[in-house]
Structure 1
Amino acid sequence: MSGPLQRDVEAVGRIEAVPTILDVICRTTGMGFAAIARVTEDRWVACATLDHIGFGLRSGGELRVDTTICRDIHRSREPIVIDHVAEDAAYCGHPTPAMYGFQSYISVPIILRDGSFFGTLCAIDPRPARVNNTETIGMFRLFAALITTHLNAEAELGRAREELLQQRALSELREQFIAVLGHDLRNPVASVASGVRLLQRSVQDEAGRNILALMQSSIVRMGGLIDNLMDFARARLGGGLELEVSAERPLGPVLEHAVEELRAVHPGRAIEASIDIPGPVAVDQPRIAQLLSNLLGNALAHGTPGVPVRVGATARDGLFSLWVANGGAPIPQEARAGLFQPFFRGEGRPIAQGQGLGLGLYIVAEIARMHGGRMELASDETETRFTFLMPLPPAPRR
């Protein structure tokens, strides 16, 4: 036996209550053989048995379904109960009791939640038994319902596992694709960047320089997109972003350089910066610069063009704070919960030119989390402000 029937037999075998159920049936009714059977139109397979009469049938054993009364139950979906075959008008001449040598018989259907017929819970004995009563039939129905509950749970768990494996496989494939894509894009972008730098040395006319400036801006933006793609793949593949924390160099100039890069890419936009970090801050400086660049890019994409984007950074009173604010319409309340999720743009928010893939804020949140900090959002009619807050270690005593 193999395939679905084998899996059904194994599923019943995993139900811990089955041996107790069969034992209680035999003790309560006085019958010597009890079983749970998987019954189809053409198969009768024992899933579990308790045999005190030497009937000789074990788990996995089969009977010809056309020689069993269970085939009638499969068709009618109603219990069949016989106290004494020899005195039963309907079954005294039936070939099945004579073939298998029993005088008492009870069998109730096991129906799954989806309405399909699984099999029967049954018992037989060569002696008559008083089983055709409300108490005994009720007990069998209760045990059949308990078995059904376990089988339904087993089936649902199996489907959940299969769906999880499929989703995991699709997720890994998608993330591997993104990682390969990001890696393969770096080489052509680097080649274009080298060509632009070479041309900048020889082009003298104003129109040519403007074109090269636009190309340089596109290269910077493309580099940011590739970085976000690679970081997304690293974060979702399980390893997480890598940090190299150091406080050897001052952080202020690193943040000011990140602001200058965005000013160069967006020469028509005003960016006001107030960076006040007198002492060392233990962070991964390139990652914090990336966090700031992503926040600035988001503010420039969604902020009102005529309103300056403002940047502030401080490190005092045991807290490092870095924030970016822009004017414009407030972020809808229903969109805020998903802002830091990958590929999220927000319901009803227009896709601005150069906005990117929707990974910027996700990478921001990951960088904040890896530093042991958090992101906060405040958005109203006046401004929208994203703030990165990170506790600072206490200063050493002197």
Structure 2
Amino acid sequence: MGTEKSLDLRKDIEDINEIPGIHELLNVISSSSNMRFVAVARVTKERWITGVSKDDIDFGLRPGDELDVGSTICNEIRQHHIPVIIEDVDSNAIFCNHHTPQQYGFKSYISYPIFLKDGSFFGTLCAIDPKPAKINNDRIKNMFKLYTDLISFHLEAIHKLNHANRKIKKQQEIAELRETFVAVLGHDLRNPIGTTRMCADMLLSAKIPDAAKKQAEIIKSTSYRMQSLIDNLLDFAKGNLGDGISLHLKSDNIELEKELHEVIAESKILNDNRLIETNINLSHDVDCDINRIAQLLSNLLTNALKHSESKEPVEVEISSENSEFSLAVINYGETILEKHQENLFKPYFKSKAKSNENGLGLGLYIASEIAKAHHGDLYVESNEGKTCFSFHMPLKSNIESAEAL
């Protein structure tokens, strides 16, 4: 407990020194009152600590230096909360024989209490001088009252700022732990999902009744959906943890086209053999992460199939020409409102009209991060019932690996 109190008091001293213009304030008090030592002190029942000082009499107190609290008049002010003003110790009936001026050798003294907003006593704004001074007047008293209120105001503002910063830091720590948990959980789920899909494949290759085969197909398609969700979740967690989306660039159009066709075939199977009209023309080499481009297409197709009329085809246009690789997915259905379009690539975004839909709301966000990692752009256009998501990137990248910002 003692250590905690020491740390709190040390922080109070730091807070005093963070007050804007505090040194200029002490200079003004000194020149206005002719008191050559002025200080803000943190005062408790056990301790008197210098917060900040202006010392033109070599009194020798710097921030953090202490006096025996029992030897100070500030300790008495802490108890009765009343300012003390002494123009000349020798002619003052109350303080002429007081131990404090005798111990510290001053003739004039003024000290005003500093209260925080909650009414608690914080310390004092005090000044001393080895010579008598004319300080018991309205001008000096109003000045000290004004400046103690000003110091209190700034201390309260600093306390609130520090509290807000601690709260933000705590929230950031919790968020990081949550993202770490999500990443670990997603990684651990991959193996059982892979096993589930393998078992479904074994059932489909075996001689089983049609009804059982139908169930196996459902299990397989569900496992693919779960795998897609987990991949998006892992990518999102990695991005929030600062790992970004890493790329393994490769120029192999044959493999790229094969992966893209597989994504389209899987999307058809998972969506009751929906019609997907495809046009792929890779006439120039594409330098990309093939798996990531396939993931981008998968996410765009998932979105298009979910939000289009089931009787309408989904169109896929992919080409590499004019120094650019482009990939577009077009669907027909409800037009996306312009006010929603700017939020589509944000994580977890769902329009209010679609708030009950399945999914995490990460697919388009991950697609946009993959686009950024390839130094490309992902766009959306939606009008008159036609929506097109298009990805464009330069054919040749000067970076062998990159991370999403």
TM-score grouping bracket, smaller chain normalisation: 0.7 to 0.9
Alpha-carbon offset, residue 262 of structure 1: 0.5
Quote the residue 2:98 is aligned against.
Answer: 98
Alpha-carbon offset, residue 324 of structure 1: 1.5
Question: 1:310-340 CA distances to partner (integer Å, 9 max, x unpaired)?
Answer: 2222333333221212222223444333322
2:269 matched to 1:264? yes
Give the Cα–Cα distance (whole angstroms) in 2 for the partners of residues 160 and 154 of structure 1. 10
Aligned residue type for 2:212: G
Alpha-carbon offset, residue 174 of structure 1: 0.9
Quote the residue 1:193 is aligned against.
Answer: 197
Give the Cα–Cα distance (whole angstroms) in 1 for the partners of residues 340 and 118 of structure 2. 38
Quote the residue 2:310 is aligned against.
Answer: 305
Give the Cα–Cα distance (whole angstroms) in 1 for the partners of residues 83 and 338 of structure 2. 58
Quote the residue 1:372 is aligned against.
Answer: 375
Quote the residue 2:168 is aligned against.
Answer: 164
Question: Please, which of 334, 337, 341 is the counterpart of residue 336 of structure 1?
Answer: 341
Contact 2:53 2:61 in 1 (8 A): yes
**Equivalent position SS for 1:315:** strand
Question: Please, which of 118, 123, 127 is the counterpart of residue 123 of structure 1?
Answer: 127
Contact 1:228 1:363 in 2 (8 A): yes
Contact 1:69 1:96 in 2 (8 A): no
* Correspondences of 1:59-78 after superposition (within 5 Å): 59-64=64-69, 68=73, 71-72=76-77
Q: How many residues align?
A: 387
2:324 matched to 1:319? yes
Quote the residue 2:403 is aligned against.
Answer: none
TM-score, reference length from structure 2? 0.82
Alpha-carbon offset, residue 378 of structure 1: 1.8
2:295 matched to 1:290? yes
**Equivalent position SS for 1:2:** helix
Aligned residue type for 1:279: H
* Correspondences of 1:192-211 after superposition (within 5 Å): 192-211=196-215
Alpha-carbon offset, residue 24 of structure 1: 4.6
Cα RMSD over matched residues? Answer: 3.2
Question: 1:191-229 CA distances to partner (integer Å, 9 max, x unpaired)?
Answer: 222212222222243222222221211121121122112
Aligned residue type for 1:386: F
Quote the residue 1:212 is aligned against.
Answer: 216
Question: Please, which of 362, 365, 387 is the counterpart of residue 384 of structure 1?
Answer: 387
Give the Cα–Cα distance (whole angstroms) in 2 for the partners of residues 97 and 273 of structure 1. 101
Quote the residue 1:362 is aligned against.
Answer: 365
TM-score, reference length from structure 1? 0.83
Give the Cα–Cα distance (whole angstroms) in 1 for the partners of residues 316 and 70 of structure 2. 80
Alpha-carbon offset, residue 158 of structure 1: 2.3
Alpha-carbon offset, residue 39 of structure 1: 3.8
User: Structure 2: any 5+ residue segments left out of the alignment?
Assistant: 398-405
Give the Cα–Cα distance (whole angstroms) in 1 for the partners of residues 142 and 391 of structure 2. 64
Aligned residue type for 1:98: H
Identity %: 40
User: Structure 1: any 5+ residue segments left out of the alignment?
Assistant: none
**Equivalent position SS for 2:247:** coil
Give the Cα–Cα distance (whole angstroms) in 2 for the partners of residues 261 and 28 of structure 1. 83
